């Protein structure tokens, strides 16, 4: 039994090229040329599975020069070479169609035998220019569209009853006609007749994940999500978010245990604290500071290029969060960090380079286990979205050193339980026919 009854930590590995530190690719041992090498990625995922982690997660975007594989293709290939670990893909609602997304996730869930998860985003960065649009939709409108989008996807998954596929050779019936239904949706933003062209996913629905922490994002998470990825710089901030989001569930007929909250934690680990600090400094020396300062200046609306690196910053003159049409929660996190801690420009660059605003940690495995235990047992987290600043070595030391320490404390599993990602997360399987539908004739 754990120190907190039967409650156990949940751990997800956020896959991210050579690591979550933006300069990780410049380290002597880094292999950025292997970002598209499936065998290399598979090795990282198999390390996470060896560590009994719940899932791996792929971020995605539809613009820029990220040089990454498309998530459905990558995770479908990974599903064939892994047995237990969950496979979570980011798919945005703004630049997709509900039918395509429902079909692809149902396919991934069947291929993986119930290990798929959907990280639902509305699109933090504009990709309008790649989709024949003139501008990125406004923040609140994107969430309104997403609400209808997700409802349609769930209805499409429900358009097949669990026992619709009968394959009765003697009766000559492959699919029971009264157990597959159209949804005939005509809404404000979408029109979808249905039904889906593939049987209901093994999990009923793939696990629904959400990563926005704005006001709209928190409300959307309370209504829809089962797993939340979030960013916080302090225990107190994480506790406040945890209480806030869990308190919103009741209005949607949900219980606190129906939603798991996993803050990001981005470690630099070594056998001694001094060695970890040395590695952190090596990463800092590799940062393109001019590029970071340009990005920060654009985000904050303050020209920082002429500031002294060791001059404390203030938020005076910075762009207000209400003026941002991208990732509002991350913008506010940076403003809060500057306002609360008054870091120098050098310190802010180092903090943000480590994990783009997530909680960073430099030290030993035991010290990290202490932090994880404190957050977990003090109402700040149900687990963590683990974001090593260096891949693959950062994940290897986490699996080989941190996880055994957490197991010794009774906080983490010692073997996989159940068959599906839902089983491992302790989430119930949604029943079918949750929405009014019309049977096909």
Q: What is the pLDDT of residues 87-103, one digit of tens each?
A: 999 999 999 999 999 99
pLDDT of 6 > 70? The answer is yes
**pLDDT for 107 beyond 90:** yes
Q: Give me the pLDDT at residue 318, please.
A: 85
Does residue 325 have a pLDDT over 90?
Answer: no
Residue 397 binned pLDDT confidence (cut-offs 50, 70, 90) = very high
> Residue 441: pLDDT band by 50, 70, 90 thresholds?
very low
Among 71-80, 320-329, 428-437, the range scoring the smallest mean pLDDT is 428-437
pLDDT tens for 249-308 read 999 999 999 999 999 999 999 999 999 999 999 998 999 888 888 888 888 888 888 888
Reported confidence tier of residue 128, pLDDT bands at 50, 70, 90: confident
Residue 327: pLDDT band by 50, 70, 90 thresholds?
low
* CB 255 within 8 Å of CB 226: no
Give pLDDT, residue 57. Answer: 96
* 146-149: Cβ within 8 A, 24+ apart: 146/93, 146/94, 146/120, 146/122, 146/220, 147/220, 147/223, 147/224, 148/187, 148/188, 148/189, 148/190, 149/93, 149/96, 149/98, 149/101, 149/189, 149/190
Give yes or no for residue 79 having a pLDDT over 60. yes
Predicted local distance difference test score (pLDDT) of residue 2: 44
DSSP 431: P
User: Is 229 strand, coil or helix?
Assistant: strand
**Beta-ladder partners of 139:** none
Residues with Cβ within 8 Å of residue 6, at least 6 apart in sequence: none
Residue 244 scores a pLDDT above 50: yes
pLDDT(122) > 70: yes
pLDDT digits (tens, 9 = 90+) for 168-199: 999 999 999 999 999 999 999 999 999 999 99
Among 268, 253, 236, 261, CA closest to 384: 261
Cβ-Cβ contacts under 8 Å for 55 (sequence gap 6 or more):
12, 13, 85, 86, 87, 88, 115, 117, 421, 424
Annotate 181-204 with b (16+ C-beta within 10 A) or e (fewer): bbbebeeeeeebebbbebbbbbbb
The three-state secondary structure class of 12 is: strand
pLDDT of 222 over the 60 cut: yes
Q: Is the pLDDT of residue 124 over 60?
A: no
Radius of gyration of the chain (CA): 22
Domains of the chain: 10-278+356-439 (3.20.20.30)
Residue 413 has pLDDT above 80, yes or no: yes
- pLDDT tens-digit readout, 371-393: 999 999 999 999 999 999 999 99
| pLDDT at position 238 over 50 | yes
Q: Count Cβ neighbours within 10 Å for each residue of 49-73 and write b for 16 or more, e otherwise.
A: bebbbbbbbbbbebeeeeebbebbe
Q: Which residue has the higher pLDDT, 331 or 57?
A: 57
pLDDT in the model for residue 172? 96
Give yes or no for residue 436 having a pLDDT over 70. no
- The answer to which of 133-137, 147-151, 405-409 has the lowest mean pLDDT is 133-137
Per-residue pLDDT at 326 exceeds 70: no
Instruction: Lowest mean pLDDT of 18-22, 57-61, 411-415, name the range.
Output: 57-61
Query: Pairing relation of β-strands 55-58 and 10-15?
Result: parallel
Q: What is the mean pLDDT of the chain?
A: 91
Mean pLDDT of 328-334: 77
- Percent above pLDDT 70 for the chain: 95
Cα torsion for 25, 27, 31, 35, to the nearest 10°? -20
pLDDT for 5: 58
């Amino acid at each position: 039994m754990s120190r907190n009854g039967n409650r156990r930590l949940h751990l997800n590995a956020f896959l991210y090229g050579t690591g979550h530190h933006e300069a990780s690719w410049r380290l002597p041992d880094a292999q950025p040329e292997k970002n598209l090498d499936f065998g290399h990625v598979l090795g990282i995922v198999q390390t996470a599975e060896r560590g009994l982690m719940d899932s791996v997660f792929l971020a995605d975007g539809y613009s820029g020069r990220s040089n990454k594989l498309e998530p459905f293709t990558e995770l479908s290939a990974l599903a064939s070479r892994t047995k237990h670990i969950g496979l979570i893909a980011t798919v945005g609602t703004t630049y997709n169609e509900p039918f395509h997304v429902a079909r692809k996730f149902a396919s991934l869930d069947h291929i993986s035998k119930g290990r798929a998860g959907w990280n639902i985003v509305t699109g933090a960065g504009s990709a309008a220019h790649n989709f024949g649009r003139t501008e990125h939709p406004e923040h609140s409108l994107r969430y309104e569209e997403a609400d209808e989008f997700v409802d349609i996807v769930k209805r499409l998954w429900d358009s097949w009853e669990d026992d619709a596929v009968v394959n009765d050779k003697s009766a000559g019936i492959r699919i029971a006609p009264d157990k597959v239904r159209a949804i005939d949706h005509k809404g404000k933003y979408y029109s979808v007749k249905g039904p889906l062209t593939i049987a209901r996913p093994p999990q009923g629905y793939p696990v629904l994940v959400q990563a926005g922490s704005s006001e709209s994002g928190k409300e959307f998470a309370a209504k829809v999500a089962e797993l939340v990825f979030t960013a916080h710089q302090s225990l107190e901030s994480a506790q406040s978010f945890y209480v806030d989001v869990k308190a919103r569930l009741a209005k949607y007929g949900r219980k606190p245990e129906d939603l798991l909250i996993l803050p990001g934690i981005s470690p630099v680990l070594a056998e001694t604290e001094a060695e970890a600090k040395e590695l952190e400094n090596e990463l800092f020396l590799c940062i393109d500071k001019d590029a970071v300062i340009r990005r920060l200046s654009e985000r904050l609306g303050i020209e920082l290029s002429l500031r002294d690196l060791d001059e404390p910053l203030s938020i005076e003159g910075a762009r207000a969060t209400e003026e941002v049409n991208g990732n509002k929660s991350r913008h506010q996190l940076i403003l809060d960090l500057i306002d609360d801690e008054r870091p120098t420009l050098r310190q802010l660059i180092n903090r943000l380079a480590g994990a783009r605003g997530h909680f960073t940690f430099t030290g030993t495995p035991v010290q990290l286990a202490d932090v994880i235990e404190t957050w977990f047992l003090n109402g700040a987290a149900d687990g963590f979205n683990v974001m090593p600043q260096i891949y693959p070595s950062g994940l290897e030391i986490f699996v080989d050193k941190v996880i055994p320490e957490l197991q010794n404390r009774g906080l983490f599993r010692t073997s996989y339980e159940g068959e599906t990602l839902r089983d491992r997360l302790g989430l119930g399987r949604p029943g079918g026919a949750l929405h009014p539908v019309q049977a096909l004739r």
